Amino acid sequence: MTNSSTTLNCIDLADPDIGKSVAVLKQACLDSGFFYVVNHGINQEFMDEVFAQSKKFFDLPINEKMKLLRNKKNRGYTPIHDEILDPDNQVNGDYKEGYYIGIELPEDDLEAHKPFYGPNQWPSKDLLPRWREVMEQYHNEALRVAQAVSRIIALALNLDVSFFDKPEMLGKPIATLRLLHYEGKVSNPAKGVYGAGAHSDFGLITLLATDDVAGLQICKDKSAQTQVWENIAPLKGAFIVNLGDMLERWSNCIFRSTLHRVVLDGRERYSIAYFVEPSHECLVECLPSCKSEANPPKFPPVTCATYLFKRYKETHADLSTYGEHHQT
């Protein structure tokens, strides 16, 4: 069932009172795993340009987009129905198309041989002259914001403020920008038709920028027999930030990774997700501040790359051979 809209806590990155930000974020992570971030330092004019460039790509003829079809490195174009996030309840894949852009590394860089690093696919400059420049700038800007948010999360978990800044964590992260376009189809949950099926994100945190078209819904209690879905309103100039499954594992379920989905009302919708995970070798294991005799670790340690590979393989249509010799 779907309830009314829910109100999210709001973190102001320009607020000098870090204690207040930590308290607000901690409450958000305990309540819903979702919150807004404002005054993040990316100006609105540039955000508008990123959305405009995204729309230019999705407006291209399908044959042009298919030239950049997602490869084994999970870079490039993903057509409608490529992804099925809730196979138990969806009759088809998601009614969205997307474009993955990761950390850019040339083929001759040793790091590029890891499964989530490498060169990106880029549209021709003849078609979209400024596209690569804008997306690479946004990638860098979004990572800066994610790192600022991760410092507040560290404090909220009673860790050192720079815990996530280490090279094996967000010093050399797996960070993926994903442009998304939802076609103007009306979702019908009763018939298994969704813009994006119910899921939780895989990694550490996700920064989501949206246009002004509603559609995002969250379910605060994913174990409930009858799931209650609440609408999340777009907020101009803000990121909607949510916690991923990896942080839920790290925090021993103290912080929650929340189910969310996209239900469309027939209007086109554009959004830009920035998924942030630590480095390939990072060992995700219960944090010292999140375990006790009464609350022992609930998950075994796992490397970031191994965990992510498994999750991507479960949700995408044709990753059957991707990363077979790269698992750690």
**Structural contact between residues 280 and 304, judged by C-beta atoms closer than 8 angstroms:** yes
- Please indicate, yes or no, if residue 324 is contained in any of the structural domains: no
Residue 327 belongs to a domain: no
What CATH number should be reported for the domain holding residue 97? Answer: 2.60.120.330
Residue 68 located in a structural domain? yes
Between vectors from CA 265 to CA 263 and to CA 267, what angle results, nearest 5°?
115
> Is 16's pLDDT higher than 90?
yes
Torsion angle of alpha carbons 196, 216, 75, 278, nearest 10°? -120
Label residues 81-107 b or e (16+ Cβ within 10 Å = b). ebbbbbeeebeebbbbbbbbbbbbbee
Instruction: Please list, in sequence order, all residues whose beta carbon lies within 8 angstroms of the beta carbon of residue 65, skipping any fewer than 6 positions away.
Output: 57, 58, 77, 79, 97
State which residues form the domain around 247: 2-315
Look at residue 316 in the predicted model and tell me its pLDDT.
63
| pLDDT (0 to 100) of residue 270 | 98
DSSP code of 62?
Answer: H
- Round the average pLDDT of the chain to a whole number and report it: 90
pLDDT for 317 equals: 58
In a domain, 62, yes or no: yes
Which amino acid is residue 219, in one-letter code?
A: C
Pick from 278, 316, 276, 238: which is nearest to 81 by CA? 316
Query: Does some domain include residue 323?
Result: no
Whole-angstrom distance between the N-terminal and C-terminal Cα of the chain? 41
**How many CA atoms lie less than 13 Å away from 50 in the CB half-sphere?**
28
The model carries a pTM of: 0.92
Residue 323 pLDDT more than 80? no
- ∠ CA 168-171-177, nearest 5°, is 110
Q: What are the pLDDT digits (tens) for 53-89?
A: 999 999 999 999 999 999 888 899 999 998 888 888 8
Task: Report if residue 325 sits inside a domain.
Answer: no
Q: How far apart are CA 72 and CA 41, in angstroms?
A: 34
Domains of the chain: total: 1
Q: Is 77 helix (H, G, I), strand (E, B) or coil?
A: strand
Q: How far is 49 from 29, CA to CA, in rounded Å? A: 31
CA geometry: angle 89, 91, 96, nearest 5 deg: 100
Tens digits of residue pLDDT in 299-317: 999 999 898 888 877 766 5
Rounded Cα distance, 168 and 10, in Å: 29
Domain assignment present for residue 257? The answer is yes
Q: Are 258 and 240 in contact (CB under 8 A)?
A: no
Q: How far apart are CA 247 and CA 205, in angstroms?
A: 8
Residue 79, in any domain of the structure: yes
Element (H or E) spanning 208, and its range? strand 205-210
